[in-house]
Structure 1
Amino acid sequence: MNLTSPFFLAIVVITALALLGLPIGLAMMVGSIGYLWLAGMDMGTVAEQFLNGMYSNYIILAVPLFIFAAEIMNSGSMTERLLRFCNVLVGHFRGGLAQINVVQSLIFAGMSGSAVADAAGSGRMMQNMMTRDNRYTSSYAAALTAVTSVVGPILPPSIPMVVYALVSDASIGYLFLAGVVPGLLMTAMQMVQVFRDARRHNFPVEERVPLADVPRITIAAFPTLLMPVILLGCIYTGVTTPTEAAALAAAYAVLVSTVIYRSLTWREGYSALRLSAKTSASIGMMIGGAMVFNYVVTVENIPETLRRVMTGWELSQVQFLILVNVILLILGCVLEGTAILLIIVPVFIPTAQALGIDLVHFGVVVIVNIMLGLVTPPYGLLLFIVSNISGSPLKDIIRDCLPFLGWMVLCLALITFFPGLVLWLPRLAGYGG
């Protein structure tokens, strides 16, 4: 590579600004402006690409709507009622509270689509419950909260899958379905590890919920449990698009919290709206910056060049997927997941298509990789979040995360080598891939 070329200098600028702490979206914009200036191109293209990327993609609207739905659930009492219901299901087993953490993340996944929302919302409550009376160490509770939260974006609905659909043109509906089996598989593996830990460390057994209280707790949680059923039912019956379903999820969360549970105050509603706006703006800036940088990448013909190089290597589908897994696992240790989806993944898609790899299968492999990155040191965003919530040292949390990471890598290997695990459900729904 020419070290004085506009593209190389743009990469240097983006990397330097990101390391100095500038948000990656802004760093990409600055680097892209520098590229266009050095290449003698119209710098107004930056604004054009930003606006086209943000306002011509109807699907992007799903992101702030799912975020808002999650914030409303955390602000009202929907999450608390969900935790009580999970206690009925698995709370009476040894290590019951830990199993509740796993199960509540599985159910919460069908509502928020965000690992961060799960960890910061219901995960915060689980942290307090597990460490009360020193029943579990703070680091174990934090580690479990982090690893269970990653299930959210694998199961539908999923904000990362919405972003992947944006860059790959894959069907969101089939992507959502494709994430069900891997998400359930990962949840089962986490429950197995909790069971092993419970026996090894003699975790406490929670008091069994009286049988007479089960109907009351179930009825109280029913409106919350109904949310993913309505959401996914509307998508797969064709009543709504995924974006419209996101709006429905937000409206339903507000309706349940205000009318049925009457637990959401004006102050809490405003706070949820404000937090959702801040998070959405951050993600939107990153998407906009990636759109501008992707234009630069396209002008440089990087995807086609990479496709020709990899074709020259004569890689098989499995070899290519292994290579992608290795690259994404390494990048996941140092880069934020959305940045990987928007910058790195589009470069691989032409090669995946040329090798005949199904883009829905490829998308799920990519998403699971990125979820691994959320709990992989040294960057691991969820590790920092739960460390902040719990006050536990990061090294202790990482130590307790490692056994779960092993299971997650096994899950990644299974869905990589056995595409049928991913595509079975979409094919039942009529997918031709």
Structure 2
Amino acid sequence: MNMTVLVLFGSFALLMFLGVPIAFAIGVAATLTFLLFMTTEQSLSIVAQQMASGLDSFTLLAIPFFILAGNIMNRGGIALRLIDLAKVLAGRLPGSLAHVNIISNMLFGALSGSAVASAAAVGGVMSPIQKRDGYDPAFSTAVNVTSCPTGLLIPPSTTLIVYSLISGGTSIAALFLAGYLPGILIGLSLMVVAGIIAKRKGYPVAEKSSFKDVRAAVGRAILPLGLIFIVIGGIISGVFTATEASAIAVAYSLLLALVWYREIGIKDLPRIFVDSAVTTSIVLFLIGCSIAMSRAMAFGDVPSTISSFMIGLSENPVIILLSITAVLLLIGTFMDMTPALLIFTPIFMPVMQGLGIDPVHFGIIMTINLCVGICTPPVGSALFVGCSISGVSIGQVMKPILPFYFVLIACVLLVTFIPQISLFLPQLILGY
């Protein structure tokens, strides 16, 4: 057991330190672990078999379709229409443009399913406007970076689809419903902090919207928002599966961007398809390697041993949950969300089962913890994208982003220790 852990995680850490791409580091670490128990030919064969069989999943087809739908919406002018709606919703709150940024990220992130795409699309529009109105660019960047991960919780979310696969088939419909309240909780909490800071610094308040402006903004955004009702409504009602919903999302977003809004043309589609295919290949190769690594961990009895060790440290579930939260927050600072989810879900799942934690609740715990990681250095993808969009250095944004970090961690603790925040909607709507 000790040798298995040493080879698996030691080789993985070494390869990461040497700058090897994370998917290859995972695959090599899994292969080296199997070499402890079998020949080279058998090790290579079982890794290849695990990668192939792990990707042979109807559920996983949802990932390329949702990625494609997100790319179409990102280039199809959807973000601008959602920002107009957010301006109406933010009203005359202190620092209204900061609230517009947060609400826009919640809306666009939910539609695109990508925090990075949301940070780029919304931040690209809002940063110049906020700078023109006298907002500190570092503050604006902090707001954009910390609010963009809400789309990973508010469905449809490819992150929750990946968790469903790796956790053994947890209900996607239940996971999607479970993500709403935590995602909204984060958004509202960030708005409170942004409002307090904005009022203290005297940032301007937007002019009152007329009824005509409200009607126009709602009219412009109602079709994009219709996608959420079609996808989530269809999944919950059982009309179609999450995979079928993802294909419908592509058709719907194409109809909007290509035919209705005409923001993209036929000539733009090949580039959108190629970009989506590249992103999909990276994600699926990463999933395949992670499944092989999970098999290697199971072969060496790593998850159950770690579970026994953690439960043996304390009989207090609160201490164990705090320990897992601390580990996940630390992991998120140096590992991207998808590989962290794929590697550590099988490790912590037995611990959660021993504590009687519902798998849907655990999926939200994993996701919300790792959402914080994409906003933090040194690997935070949302942080790097947000800073590059606004032209602010990471050093400049660290001070204004600290209050938002504290709010994110407070939300993590609330969601972790109050299961009903996650489980209320699945129980109410699905009778979960």
**Range of TM-score over shorter length:** over 0.9
- Tell me if 1:161 matches 2:150: no
2:86, 2:51 → 1: CA distance?
44
| RMSD after superposition | 1.8
* 1:246 aligned residue: 246
* 1:120 aligned residue: 120
The verdict on how the C-alpha distance between 1:211 and 1:7 changes in structure 2, with shifts beyond 3 A counting, is: closer
The answer on whether the counterparts of 2:5 and 2:302 sit within 8 Å (CA) in structure 1 is no
* 1:46 aligned residue: 47
* 2:327 aligned residue: 327
Task: Indicate the SS of the match to 1:206.
Answer: coil
* 2:255 aligned residue: 255
* 1:36 aligned residue: 34
Q: Deviations over 1:244-270 (max 9, x none)?
A: 111111111111111211211234333
Higher mean C-alpha displacement, 201-210 vs 381-390? 201-210
Identity %: 34
Aligned residues between the structures: 428
The answer on whether the counterparts of 2:311 and 2:320 sit within 8 Å (CA) in structure 1 is no
Q: Deviations over 1:263-317 (max 9, x none)?
A: 1123433332222222211111211110111111111011121222234345333
Q: Give the superposition deviation at 1:350.
A: 1.3
The answer on whether the counterparts of 2:123 and 2:390 sit within 8 Å (CA) in structure 1 is no
* 1:135 aligned residue: 134
Task: Indicate the SS of the match to 2:430.
Answer: coil
The answer on whether the counterparts of 1:383 and 1:398 sit within 8 Å (CA) in structure 2 is no
Q: Give the superposition deviation at 1:139.
A: 1.6
TM-score norm. by structure 1 comes to: 0.94
The answer on whether the counterparts of 1:143 and 1:401 sit within 8 Å (CA) in structure 2 is yes
* 1:89 aligned residue: 89
Task: Indicate the SS of the match to 2:135.
Answer: coil
* 1:26 aligned residue: 24
The answer on whether the counterparts of 1:333 and 1:379 sit within 8 Å (CA) in structure 2 is yes
Task: Indicate the SS of the match to 2:207.
Answer: coil
The residue correspondences of 1:149-228 to structure 2 (distance < 5 A) are: 149-168=148-167, 169-228=169-228
Alignment-mate amino acid for residue 387 of structure 1: C
Task: Indicate the SS of the match to 1:121.
Answer: helix
The residue correspondences of 1:377-416 to structure 2 (distance < 5 A) are: 377-416=377-416
* 1:280 aligned residue: 280
The answer on whether the counterparts of 2:133 and 2:204 sit within 8 Å (CA) in structure 1 is no
Q: Deviations over 1:34-70 (max 9, x none)?
A: 3333533402111101101112x22112122111111
2:129, 2:280 → 1: CA distance?
30
Q: Give the superposition deviation at 1:119.
A: 1.1
The answer on whether the counterparts of 1:66 and 1:113 sit within 8 Å (CA) in structure 2 is yes
Structure 2: where are the runs of 5+ without partners?
A: none
The answer on whether the counterparts of 2:174 and 2:430 sit within 8 Å (CA) in structure 1 is no
1:142, 1:183 → 2: CA distance?
19
TM-score norm. by structure 2 comes to: 0.94
Alignment-mate amino acid for residue 271 of structure 1: R
2:322, 2:4 → 1: CA distance?
32
Alignment-mate amino acid for residue 95 of structure 1: G
Higher mean C-alpha displacement, 66-75 vs 16-25? 16-25
The verdict on how the C-alpha distance between 1:11 and 1:311 changes in structure 2, with shifts beyond 3 A counting, is: closer
1:84, 1:267 → 2: CA distance?
28
The answer on whether the counterparts of 2:23 and 2:285 sit within 8 Å (CA) in structure 1 is yes
